[in-house]
Chain A
Amino acid sequence: MTALMTVLTILLPILYLAVWADYLWLFYTEHPLARRTCSRAAGVVVVLHMGVMVLRGLALHRLPMGTQAEFMGALAVALLGTYLVVERRLRAKNTGFLTTGAAGLMMLSAAVVEPGGAKVSPLLSDPGFAGHAVLVLLAYTALSLSFLYAVLYLVLARQLMRRRFGLLFRRLPALETLERMSVVAVEMGVPLLFLALALGHLWMYDLADRPGLDPRLAQALTPWDPKILFSWVIFLGYTAGLVGHRFFGWRGRRMNIMAVAAFVTVVLGMGAVHHFFPTFHKFPGLDASAVTAPRGDGPAFAADHQLTGER
């Protein structure tokens, strides 16, 4: 089993790069063979990677998102999986080289950074927290895809406005399709974010009730935490965008500028909240004993350790 895992761990970045190459081939040549194979290849890689993650999780008794390499891998598979859902719904494959390229680079980075042994959060052994972390990852991946398609919309609109009929003009899908791809990504991201927040709240109350919890952390556990509040703002903002799109006919350049601005706000806002505001998401004083199923394989959780899944 260990040997198989090692082989798959080495093989996965290569497979990601192969999928990227297939999508690039499609973008540059629109070769029928590339069109036929790219989605299937990407699907196989996602299934394979998920299988590796499940096996790894079972072996480690925790969510395999603890180390930097694991987190990068999880991000890559989330990106590729989310992209495939959007691609399948819109039947537009020509933008795949961007997402698969990003996923490939993440896998490559995961292969070169330290493979493990770093301090991992004992919370990753807690199913409630693990579910929250996975949902957050998927939600923000979907929102990042929405950002990507909104940017592509604006780029193509600019090309059309300037009458540049080059490769992007010939290969990118219609503005209407790019907009729908962006909206579909938000339609996926918003409910995922809601679920992530709801589960996070439930888990937080559950954690607060656990005996032996560090008083500093117990005091910090509040639904008014800046990170939670900002997440609700993000959720409400994107929901308003969806309502505007569906019921008030928000379309076109303005809508896509809003999508870009929203995601930039998410990234900058989250960074600011994390660095400049007190938030319990840094989990001060938490150790393995506070976790329901303390089976983490890492050393004791450092007071100021940041959960990679929450970045």
Chain B
Amino acid sequence: MTGATTLHVRSISHKTAPTAIRERAHLTEARSVELMDALSAGAASEPACVSVIPVSTCNRTEIYLEVKEGADPDAILREALSAIGAEGELFFSEHALRLDGLEAIAHLYRLASGMESMMLGEPQITAQLKEAYRLARAHHEPGPGLLRAFQGAFRAGKRVRTETRISTGAVSVAFAAVELSRKFFDRLGKHRALLVGAGETGALAARHFLQHDIGHLTVVNRSFERAETLAATLRDEQSRQLVEADLNIEGESAAAARAMRGPDSRIIARPWDELGAAIAHADVVLSTTGATDPVILPAMVQAAVKDRHGLPLFMLDIAVPRDIHPDVAKIGNVFVFGLEDLDEIVQGNLAARRNQIPHAERLIGEELAEFGQWLEDIDMRPTVAEFRAYLEELKDKQVGFVRKKHSDEMADEVDRNLQQFIKKVLGRSMSTLRNSDSREERQRHLETLRHLFSTEDRDAD
């Protein structure tokens, strides 16, 4: 494809394979390094594979390959995967997507832009691709094709995310809960949340609120021990995250810093019989108990809102069956939302993201065209460089002659004119080569150019 090398991807993703298959295809970081080593070892004896970049996330495992032209990428990959003990056959089964050349690169560009993600536009994939790229560069410098392709993919991803709104708006229920609450309270840090129930769903939602700097979180559960355990877990997590984020440290130093900082005092637990009082102190109520009957009743909320002076109370019922009595929604300044509302927000945001696809595709097309041009030119680049060197050499001789015989000013003038001349000659030559009717014809032109201006011939002269 590149004249000397060709580019390929073999991919197993959420679009092509169920979770069980994706789990089997997953490559850990150590396994990825082994694969790169195996292919690199192969390259030493049989120079077929130029470079490989494996990308493995929870939703996909993709292997990007750059091999010498004419080499069979599947045979090379199969051998390497077998050498490291991975289930190589999966990458050649009906669960795998196999793309070559520009199609493989287009897939990479779309992937970096979040267009191939399960949640359209999700940003995590960019970090995962960068990590894979960093790992590959740390072990074996990728070939020019993959290097250029990944750099182009990151550029395309950045453009798509900044020039379109493909990554805006919550597309998960937990994040939609935060987004919805922010329609009431912009500065969450000045407000208090109450989590009713200590289950997994509630904990997940609570973590999202804590990540968005909610000012205070109270956990209330029928079993006070469970509420206290969850509060302690969240306190510990937050404390760790805050220290690591503030000081950018990990390990023992972070543990020491955590000990100095103390637990995150924003998070507390209260017993079940204080639920009413806890509601009175909260601005955001998340209810996720497994109770079969409503646990938050109108009288309880009516009493709680009495002293709020009209400040809205945002209540989110994400329990099935519902925790909040339907009549609570009739109380003034109390806004009750359920799972179906969050789902509507998510669907609305996804639709808005989908509307951005044509714009994103246009941007990817522009970046891809640039890569395509680079790819087109790569086989003629060494010859053209040689031709340029020859012209530059002639120019320098001529300028030196003028400088010796005449003046520096005249030599500089000649230098400027010849620079322009070389630029035009090279531009015309590149254009003629690009517009060749066939690849064979272009190769013939290149051969002629090499023959006329090659270094060996000049040295012989």
Contacts and interface: CB of A to CB of B under 8 A. Distances in A.
B310 A32 contact: no
Interface stretch (A116-124, A247-255, A272-280, A293-301): A247-255
A163 B341 contact: yes
Contact of A255 (B163, B169, B310, B344): B310
B243 to A, nearest CB: 29
A157 B310 contact: no
B193 interface: no
Interface in A141-166: 156-157, 160-161, 163, 165-166
A175 B183 CA distance: 6
27 contacts: A30-B168, A32-B162, A156-B183, A157-B312, A160-B184, A161-B335, A163-B341, A163-B344, A165-B344, A165-B345, A165-B348, A166-B348, A174-B184, A175-B183, A175-B184, A175-B185, A175-B312, A176-B186, A176-B187, A177-B186, A250-B309, A250-B310, A251-B308, A251-B309, A252-B309, A252-B333, A253-B332
A194 interface: no
Interface string B431-443: 0000000000000
A14 B315 CA distance: 47
Contact of A30 (B165, B341, B345): B165
B310 A251 contact: yes
Nearest 9 A/B pairs, CB to CB: A252-B310, A174-B186, A254-B310, A249-B309, A251-B311, A177-B186, A251-B310, A176-B185, A176-B186
Interface of B: 162-163, 165, 168-169, 182-187, 308-312, 332-333, 335, 337, 341, 344-345, 348, 352
Given A165-B344, A174-B184, A176-B186, 4 more contacts: A165-B341, A170-B352, A248-B309, A251-B308
A160 B186 contact: no
Contacts of B187: 176
Contacts of B333: 252-254
Nearest to B314: A160
Nearest to A174: B186
A242 to B, nearest CB: 14
Contact of B182 (A166, A174, A255): A174
Contacts of A166: 348
Contacts of B352: 170
Given A163-B344, A165-B344, A252 B185 contact: no
A155 to B, nearest CB: 12
A173 interface: yes
Contacts of A248: 309
Contacts of A177: 186
A161 B185 CA distance: 15
B451 to A, nearest CB: 52
A29 B186 CA distance: 21
Contacts of A203: none
B161 to A, nearest CB: 11
Given A169-B183, A173-B186, A253 B344 contact: no
Given A248-B309, A249-B309, A252-B311, A174 B344 contact: no
Interface secondary structure of A, over-half rule:
helix
A227 B255 CA distance: 69
Interface centre among B165, B187, B311 (most CB of A within 10 A): B311
A170 B168 CA distance: 11
A86 B182 CA distance: 20
A169 B349 CA distance: 11
Contacts of A175: 183-185, 312
A29 B164 CA distance: 9
Contacts of A161: 335
Nearest to A175: B184
Nearest to B191: A176
Contacts of B309: 248-252, 254
Contacts of B312: 157, 175, 252-253
A54 B345 CA distance: 50
Nearest to A161: B335
Interface centre among A161, A165, A175, A248 (most CB of B within 10 A): A165
Contacts of B310: 250-255
Nearest to B305: A252
A128 B337 CA distance: 56
A176 B335 CA distance: 14
A30 B348 CA distance: 16
Interface centre among A30, A156, A170, A255 (most CB of B within 10 A): A170
A5 B438 CA distance: 65
A157 B334 CA distance: 10
B183 A174 contact: yes
A283 B169 CA distance: 58
B183 A160 contact: yes
A166 B332 CA distance: 23
Interface string A67-95: 00000000000000000000000000000
Contacts of A157: 312
A163 B337 contact: yes
A249 B311 contact: yes
Nearest to A92: B186
A252 B162 CA distance: 35
B328 to A, nearest CB: 13
Contacts of B337: 163
